[in-house]
A and B are shown apart, each in its own frame.
Chain A
Amino acid sequence: MSGLQPFLKHTGLVAPFDRINVDTDQMVPKQFCKGISRTGYGGILFYDWRYLSGKAPNPAFVLNYPRYDHASVLLTRANFGCGSSREHAAWAVLDYGFRVIVAPSYADIFYNNCFKNGILPVTLDDTTIEELFARVDRHYGYQLTFDLQEMSVGDDFGLKLTFEIDAFRRICLLQGLDDIGLTLAHEREIAAYEASRRYLPTLRVTEMPS
């Protein structure tokens, strides 16, 4: 993946999504995993929850509340993005307009897919998450500001916190790095590793059956 949009700072409207264990099947239902492109998934994010039959928006679904129009920060609960490895989920989150997700924990594959697409997944403790849900509810148009350089998050009501993130992932996001390019730069080491294992009986492959 090359040409990622670097992530430095982001301020945006927060949409609360008060569910634990949101799986990637809900984010991008199966029938949308049949495309061959990685764009255009924003309109189908949370499809089965977001739309009534006939594609009318479901007014009871939180992202359809007018007050969360153009939200770019998704506040949610534990184990976000569990289940299927489909990167379509991350593509849909980004294409919808979210640049940041805030949750107490994430499933591994989805968490990884976020970084590959320039989405910042912020991990905060349960108490803070609870407080953020309360603030979103209390303040119409509630926004959060994230500074990846400082690893900080703040609002207009005196909240100022820091979060932790792996140093390497942080640099990749800050610079929008092409991590395949980084790996390819280690060609000599990869070739040396391959040469060291050439005689393992187990790597050899016989003819393909037809």
Chain B
Amino acid sequence: MAPLTIYEKIWDAHVVRESPGEPPLIYIDRHLIHEATSPQAFAALEAAGRRVRRPDLTFAVMDHSVPTKNRHLPILDAEAATQFDALTCNCQTHGIGLFDLHNSRQGIVHVVGPELGMIHPGMTVVCGDSHTSTHGALGTLAFGIGTSEVEHVLATQCLPQFKSATMQINLTGTMPEGVTAKDIVLAVIGRIGIAAGTGRVFEYTGETIRALSMEGRMTICNMSIEGGARAGIVSPDETTFDYLEGRPFAPRGKDFLTAVEYWSTFASDPLASYERSVELDVSRLAPQVTWGTNPAMVTDVVACVPDPASYADPDERKAAERALDYMCLEPGTPMTDIALDTVFIGSCTNSRIEDLRVAARVVAGKRIARTVRQALVVPGSRWVKEEAEAEGLDRIFRDAGFEWRDSGCSMCIAINDDVLESGARCASTSNRNFEGRQGKGSRTHLVSPVMAAAAALEGHFVDVRGLETSR
């Protein structure tokens, strides 16, 4: 048999129907929904007199619009309350399990799914959210869909899909101290650009990925969409299986052993081929900081803001000029001279326990800079929050001047109260630095949790490779 990639194996295992002139019909194993992109899908489903085909394979979470403080009080935001009520009502009507605001396992959908053990290698996973690519870290084909497709999956548990091309991103070398998964994925996007993945699925391979934790793999797969790829995948291995064992929704006992055997079959074959391959040696990588208004506008912390004149392509040059204008930055400014007034540690990219641990280690016993007006830590889920509190991380952050909040998407999408003012400049562990993403007129610099923590202490970016506590 010809060697296959994990993408091809998962695809082949999920084709329900193929017919000439039509896209194949693909079966969906897990459908995750949330309050912001599902109400219109349910409304249309009901208007058409249809039902949810597999409520048992559908899971709902409240995360996008949730407040991150004073949860015991009534929701004052009328629009958010309407979304929550709609989701609650839709889940009740259709018998869908819901992790609502007060559930002990509530959190960001892309944190909750994996940590509860509901996402398994070889699965297809969709959600009306582009960062669904996160789940690919567990060896799944996971991708974001629009609301009409949410409706399609609710009604049929299937999606007509065109097969994607594959792109291998081979990572080699050992990460230097202070360099993390976030720096790797930012560097990859900086090199390939934000549209390299259009029509493609990324597979991350190589010794660096093998050595990475599940949290690190999730950070990398999460940002595949920022490189244009709907999905990013890592073949499952012992790290994956160890992560899954014992989680609430994972198979147990003999079932777990059978499952591991089955899951293992999905790993890419050694000689599998890809339409395109790129390679990155991470051993000399520096911590990354974005300077512009998309994630590919990124550079080393020890470098300077680039000169738009250095771009050969006129469209790219214009985009860089506009980005610097928006970001209020001058070409040639050292990245370490950029002063910040806000720090946000959170989001589906970097809010897991490992992220909070490394950030806490940096700030332990120190204080945030006086010029930093707000520093937020928003754990990805209530489980992460409990775990962090059991380890005393909340105290470390609070003592350093951070606010310790409840779990949700928070300042990554800023549709709750966690919004930046116009002109504010934020070191953020989130995934998008688009214009206005964290608030109209606000300026976002994407970094890793350890870089964000260090920036909070100094009030500007610093090269964390010099810090003793950075690992």
Contact = CB atoms under 8 A, between A and B. Distances in A.
A186 B27 CA distance: 12
Interface stretch (A9-17, A57-65, A147-155, A197-205): A197-205
A78 interface: yes
A82 B39 contact: no
B83 A1 contact: no
B40 A30 contact: no
B144 interface: yes
B331 to A, nearest CB: 20
Given A34-B65, A48-B440, A79-B195, A202 B259 contact: yes
B228 A78 contact: no
A84 B16 contact: no
Contact of A168 (B21, B97, B249): B21
Interface of A is mostly: loop
Contacts of A203: 29, 57
Interface stretch (A94-102, A108-116, A134-142, A157-165): A108-116
A37 to B, nearest CB: 7
Given A82-B195, A168-B23, A2 B436 contact: no
A38 B40 contact: yes
Contact of B44 (A1, A29, A34, A35): A1
Contact of B263 (A186, A189, A202): A202
Interface string B1-38: 00000000000000011000111010101000000110
B440 A29 contact: yes
B301 to A, nearest CB: 24
Contacts of A166: 23, 162
A21 interface: yes
Nearest to B78: A34
Nearest to A115: B148
Contacts of B322: 19
A38 B160 CA distance: 22
Nearest to A82: B194
A180 interface: yes
Interface in A68-103: 77-79, 82-87, 90
A186 B294 CA distance: 41
Contact of B148 (A108, A113, A194): A113
Given A21-B294, A30-B415, A180-B50, A208 B146 contact: no
Contacts of B120: 202
A135 to B, nearest CB: 18
Contacts of A23: 294, 432, 434
B178 interface: no
Given A201-B259, A203-B29, A204-B251, A21 B194 contact: yes
Interface in A14-72: 19-21, 23, 25-26, 29-31, 33-38, 48
A205 B249 contact: yes
Contact of A87 (B146, B199, B251, B259): B146
Interface in B176-212: 194-195, 198-199
B351 to A, nearest CB: 18
A105 interface: yes
Interface stretch (B150-158, B214-222, B283-291, B355-363): B150-158
B228 A112 contact: no
Interface in B51-77: 53, 56-57, 64-65, 77
A202 B230 CA distance: 24
Interface stretch (B122-130, B274-282, B332-340, B365-373): B122-130
B258 interface: yes
A193 B18 CA distance: 12
A153 B21 CA distance: 24
B468 interface: no
Nearest to B441: A48
Interface in B71-93: 77, 79-80, 82-83, 86
Contacts of A108: 198-199, 228, 230
Contact of A20 (B50, B130, B248, B316): B316
A137 B146 CA distance: 34
The 10 closest A-B pairs by CB, nearest first: A116-B148, A36-B39, A87-B146, A34-B79, A113-B146, A85-B144, A87-B147, A201-B255, A85-B130, A79-B195
15 contacts: A35-B79, A38-B43, A79-B194, A83-B130, A84-B130, A86-B36, A90-B146, A105-B198, A109-B230, A116-B148, A116-B149, A180-B155, A200-B262, A202-B251, A202-B259
Given A2-B44, A34-B415, 10 more contacts: A20-B318, A21-B194, A25-B435, A25-B437, A34-B65, A34-B79, A84-B130, A87-B147, A183-B160, A209-B248
Interface of A: 1-2, 19-21, 23, 25-26, 29-31, 33-38, 48, 77-79, 82-87, 90, 105-109, 112-113, 116-117, 166-168, 178-180, 182-184, 186, 189-190, 193-194, 200-206, 208-210
